[in-house]
Amino acid sequence: MSFGILFFQVYPANAAWDVKGFWNKNVKSKFKKNQPKQEIPEDTQQDSLWDKIQPDDTQNLQAEKTSTTSDITIESVEITGNNLISTEEIMQHVNIQPDDPYSVDAVQQNLKSIYEMGYFTSHMRAIPQKTSDKKIKLKIIVQENVPITDFTITGNNSIATGDLLQILESLLNKPQNIIKVNEAIEEIQQYYASQGYILARVVSVSDDPDGTVNIVIDEGKIGSIIIEGNKKTKEFVVRRNILTQPGTIYNENLIKQDLMRLYGTQAFKDVKRTIERDEENPEVYDVTIHLEEQRTGTISIGGGLDTATGLFGTAGFTDNNFRGMGQRVSITGLAGTGIVMADSSMLNRANLQAEISWFEPKLKGTDNALMVKAFGRDFASYQIPLAVEQRFGIESTISRAFRNYPHLTGAFSVGLENVHVKEGDGSQIAGLYAAHNIPISERAKQLQGGLFLSLSPSLIYDTRDNSTLPRNGVFANVRFDEMFALDGFDNTFGKLSGSIKRYYPVGKKSAVSLAFRAGGKIHGDMPEVMAYRLGGPYTVRGFRMSGIGTGTGFMMGSAEFQTPIPFIDRITDAKFLDNIRIAAFVDAGQIYGSTVTNEIYNRPIHAITAGVGVRVFIPGVGPLSIDWGYPLTGIPDGNSKGAFTFGVGEFY
């Protein structure tokens, strides 16, 4: 009877390791419909990682003598030669059990399993030692690779060395293990990708005789940014929206923001980018921005229904890329029948409006945006009973997002407006004043208008996930208006107003919003035509226009739940139904500094309402809303059955 010794050929543990570059063939950023597309080029694809540093020496396992006897069994297995790797961990890869028959093939497979742990050289032996006539002890002698004593990392400028060392920390003071190092390197590259650095890769790994492992990283530097496809749009307009610059490390998250910024100009139908290695300098990448322009000039004719305007028609011209400069020019006109569901305080008079505006998103190449508009309006006053209100003016607003606080925008407006209020039904007003024992001389105060120069600083904070159908985030604003009366300085006044609206997602498509708004006079005598109002669309629904009251201050809150039509996706797959929401709401509000109008019409001043509604979301316009609200408190005479309100756009 004879036994053999099984062994591996020696594998040099301190050999240099050649690393194949790692590129993910399927790394793509996919946008929803009408969002810019992105592509990763073929030459930045990856196959597998470390496939050049995984030699298979298990084929060298040989038996000097292969004589076996079928009735010889193994009594025990002994592991020797290991210092840093515990015997228990090695034994987890040994599937030989006591009383198993001795087999060279089985021992070979177990040696291979131990070798594939990655911690040992191929100089491995298995020695069977006789313990009795029919039993042996199998002694497995292993030789550990040189232990890893330290790591050096070079080439990492975007990710801190400490963050990368945390990934490698578990490998320290253990024998070099190609498999474990391979996994750690892949984790490093995945970590880079999670931070947006999708081109980053490990380009070489080598070890020193003292056990130090050296890792070199190429993070993916941008060589140049190329613009293609812009025919009308000036190239500087495109480049000013691309904040990523040549010479910086490519970051997918930042490129996405650049592409969305370009798409947001409304000048392009499609925006995407590709990446290629620079032919002259393979160490950098060229990023090409592909643009597909769209027609930006439109002539529109439309109409609708709004509580404040009534049945109305509109006509206008808009160009979102005027002269290819990225500017927006708009001319609109509106003619409405007058307030819908007006009470006895409002005249039956057409609502006429006209406006021309010009918007420059990058004033003289800076981050400042400029809006200039001129307007004229003639309508039955919402504020002054039985009066006609005429407003003509011009306003200029400059705004800028704060660099360190991207969700915060500051603005400053300067406006000049002439407000004229004229009598609409003097005899009826005289009767109302007399019935409430109010001197008719007070009517002159109600009809007070004037020429006002306004200075208005404001702040806007916006973290909404979507400006059209928000389900998460916050929208808040605060604005101060100093109104200088140029035709009588004694009538100068100042007011402060603000709002906050918070969205909470519910389920997959629904949302709850909570809103709070308030405003009030700071100083001076505020004319009633400039007063705050509650009641009607955009305020407390379930009341007619100004039905709760008007005053020099107000406070209100609202809670609303919006959801798609239940089970509609099970009935039909019509896409336009995705833009329809049903809503349930509760509104509450209070007026302060009550006016004469509230007294003569017996308005409640404060109220709580609840109701339901429908939202139809029109791209570029916002929600068209129809709401029915029922007053829970402050029910005025003749309004106990609630009221409908119609609106266009969100209110904040």
**Residue 144 pLDDT more than 90?**
no
Report the number of distinct structural domains present in the chain: 3
Least confident residue range of 251-255, 287-291, 426-430, 571-575: 571-575
The verdict on 101 and 157 lying in the same domain is no
DSSP one-letter code for 488: -
Residue 170 lies in a domain: yes
Q: Which residue has 């107000």 as its token pair?
A: 554
Helix runs in 403-547, H state only: 426-435, 442-446
Residues 434, 472 share a domain: yes
The CA distance from 223 to 248, in Å, is 8
Within a domain: residue 43? no
pLDDT at residue 651, rounded to an integer: 65
Of 433-447, 454-468, 626-640, which gets the smallest average pLDDT?
A: 626-640
pLDDT value at residue 2: 41
pLDDT band at 577 (very low <50, low <70, confident <90, very high): confident
Residues 450-459: pLDDT tens digits?
Answer: 999 999 999 9
Q: What average pLDDT does this structure show over 311-332?
A: 90
CATH number of the domain to which 351 belongs: 2.40.160.50
Q: What is the structure's pLDDT at 31?
A: 29
Ranking 35-39, 193-197, 420-424 by mean pLDDT, the lowest is 35-39
Residue 27 has a pLDDT of 28
CATH number at residue 62: 3.10.20.310
Same domain, 195 and 100: no
Q: What is the pLDDT of residue 638?
A: 52
With respect to residue 254, please indicate whether it lies within any of the assigned structural domains. Answer: no
8 A C-beta contact, residue 123 and residue 151? no
- The reply to whether 282 falls in a domain is no
pLDDT band at 652 (very low <50, low <70, confident <90, very high): low
Write down the pLDDT at residue 346.
Answer: 83
CB of 617 closer than 8 Å to CB of 597: no
Residue 467 has pLDDT above 90, yes or no: no
pLDDT at 525 over 60: yes
Residue 571 pLDDT > 80, yes or no?
A: no
Q: What is the pLDDT of residue 635?
A: 75
Distance CA 460, CA 246 (A): 32
Distance, CA of 181 to CA of 200 (rounded, Å): 17
Q: In which band, very low, low, confident or very high, does the pLDDT at 620 lie, cut at 50, 70 and 90?
A: low
Q: With 50 as the cut, is the pLDDT of residue 414 above it?
A: yes
- Name the average pLDDT for the chain: 84
Q: What is the pLDDT of residue 46?
A: 34
User: What are the pLDDT digits (tens) for 34-72?
Assistant: 444 444 444 443 333 233 233 333 333 333 343 444 588
Same domain, 85 and 192: no
pLDDT, mean of residues 8-13: 35
Answer whether 0.85 is exceeded by the pTM: no
Instruction: Please give the DSSP secondary-structure letter assigned to residue 569.
Output: H
Q: How confident is the model at residue 374 (pLDDT cuts 50, 70, 90)?
A: very high
- SS3 category, 383: coil
214-272: pLDDT as tens digits:
999 999 999 999 999 999 999 999 999 999 999 999 999 999 999 998 988 888 989 99
Residues 424 and 550 both lie in one domain: yes
Asked whether residue 564 falls in the same domain as residue 484, the answer is yes
* Distance in angstroms (rounded) separating the CA atoms of residues 645 and 652: 16
Range of the structural domain that residue 197 is part of: 146-218
Same domain, 553 and 404: yes
Q: Do 183 and 136 share a domain, yes or no? A: no
Are 363 and 485 part of one and the same domain? yes
Examine the domain organization and report whether 133 and 201 are in the same domain.
Answer: no
Which of residues 175, 190, 218 is at a domain's end?
218
For residue 600, the SS3 value is: helix
Which of 141, 164, 196 is the last residue before a domain boundary? Answer: 141
Residue 438, pLDDT > 60, answer: yes
> Does residue 24 belong to any structural domain of this protein?
no
- pLDDT > 70 fraction of the chain, expressed in percent and rounded: 86
User: Are 85 and 166 part of one and the same domain?
Assistant: no
pLDDT, mean of residues 291-296: 88
**Among residues 218, 250, 276, which one ends one of the domains?**
218
Shared-domain flag, residues 118 and 164: no
Instruction: Tell me: pLDDT of 494 over 60.
Output: yes
Inside any domain, residue 100: yes
**pLDDT confidence of residue 341:** 67
Task: Give 55 or 4, the one with higher predicted confidence.
Answer: 4
Residue 25: pLDDT over 70: no
Domain assignment present for 40: no
Please check whether residue 301 lies inside any domain of the structure: yes
Alpha-carbon distance 599 to 429, whole Å? Answer: 13
